[in-house]
Amino acid sequence: MLQRIPAYGRRASSREELLALIDRIRGIIGSTPVRCFQLGGYRLCVKLEYVNPTGSHKDRIALYMVRGAIESGVLGPGGCVAEVSSGNTAASVAWISWSLGLRPVLFVESRASETKKSLIRMLGGEIVEIHDEGLGRDWVRERAEELGCVLLDQLSNEYNHLAHYETTAVELLNQVSQVDAFVMGVGTGGTITGVARRLRESQGNALVAAVTPRGSKLAGGPGADTIEGLTSHTVPEVYQRHSSLIDRVVEVESSEALAGIEALASATGILAGPSTGAALAAASKLVAEGALDTGSTVVIVAADSLARYPQLSSQLRLGSGRGDVLLNSWWS
C-alpha cells in the first residue's frame, strides 16, 4: 500500500516526518538561473534568486536554519520558530515554518511597511513589533524563550553561511565556469561568505567584494546611510567569523543603489531590488578604477525583485538616465 505524503501546513506526527517534509521542500528551493550579458569589455552574470518560492535567496537559509534546529533536537513537531527580520528572511521563515506545521513568530520593526507586514501574515507569520531589529537582541531572545520559541538568529547562525556554501555557490560554479569577481551586498553576511569560501577552494584568485552603505559600521563608520536589505548599524557575527574571505569592502550611497537598479534594468532588463542595485553600483566602481582586467566575468546576485519595493515609486523612475554614469564605466 502506498503511504500518504502529509500535506504542507499540517502538524507533523514525528521528527522523521518533519525531515521528510523538508526534503520535499528542498526540491523547490534553489537551482535558480544565471543570465550573462556583455557590457563593453566585461561579462556580467546575474544569478536570479528572486525565482525562489517567496521571492528571495532567504528561502535557502530559512530551510537550513529550521532543518538544523530539528536535527539538533531543539525543535519538534508543532514547535515555535522565531526570527528577527523586517524583510525577506521574515517571509521565508514564515513560509517554511507554516509548510512544516510549525508556529512562526517574527520580530518586525514597527517602521516596516504595511506591505511587508501583510506578506508575513499572509504566509502564516505572527508579528511582534520592535523598535530596531539591529538592537535589543537580548530582549528578543528572552521574549522568544517566554513564547516557547526557538530563535534562529540569522546574524549568528552558521547554517546561514552553510546554505550558500553548499547550494548557491555550487550552482553558480556549475553555471559560470570562471568567476573573476563576486560582488555582493552584506545583509547578514551569509551569501557573500558562503560563496566566497567555495570560490577560494575552487578559484583562489577571484576578487570578492563586500558592498555596504556609505559610512556603515562594517566600513568603520557610525552607520550613516541606509540601503534596504543591507546592514548599516551592525557587523553580523556570520560576517565577522568569515571576514578573512573578503578582499574588498566597497561603500555605496543609497542614491547610487537606486542608480544601480536603473542601470541593471537598462543594460539587462532585469528588475532587481536595492541590494542588487548597490552591487551593480559597486561593480561599476571596481571597473572604473581598473580593479578588474578587461575580459573579466563579474557575478552579482539578484537577491529579490524590484516588485517587492513599491515604496520606491516616489524615488525611482526607469528611463530617467540616472544609471547611465554607472554603465559608462563598463564601456570606457
Active-site entry in 47, 56, 58, 117: 58
How far is 287 from 294, CA to CA, in rounded Å?
9
Alpha helices, H only, the chain: 15-26, 58-72, 88-99, 114-122, 137-146, 158-163, 169-175, 190-202, 237-241, 254-268, 274-288, 324-331
Residue 275 known to be catalytic: yes
Q: Which of 79, 74, 97 is nearest to 25 (CA)?
A: 97
Annotated active-site residue in 99, 232, 275, 296:
275
The question of whether 117 is a catalytic residue gets the answer no
Cα–Cα distance measured from residue 197 to residue 137, given in angstroms and rounded to the nearest whole number:
28
DSSP structural state of residue 272: B
- The C-alpha cell at 48 is 536570479
Q: How far apart are the first and last CA of the chain?
A: 67
Q: What's 57's DSSP letter? A: T
Nearest-angstrom CA–CA distance, 18 and 322: 49
For residue 208, report the phi and psi dihedrals to the nearest 5 degrees. -115, 115
Rg of the Cα trace of the chain? 20
- Can you give the length of the chain in residues? 332
Burial of residue 167 (number of CB atoms within 10 Å: 0-12, 13-18, 19+): buried
DSSP state of 315: T
Catalytic residues: 58, 275
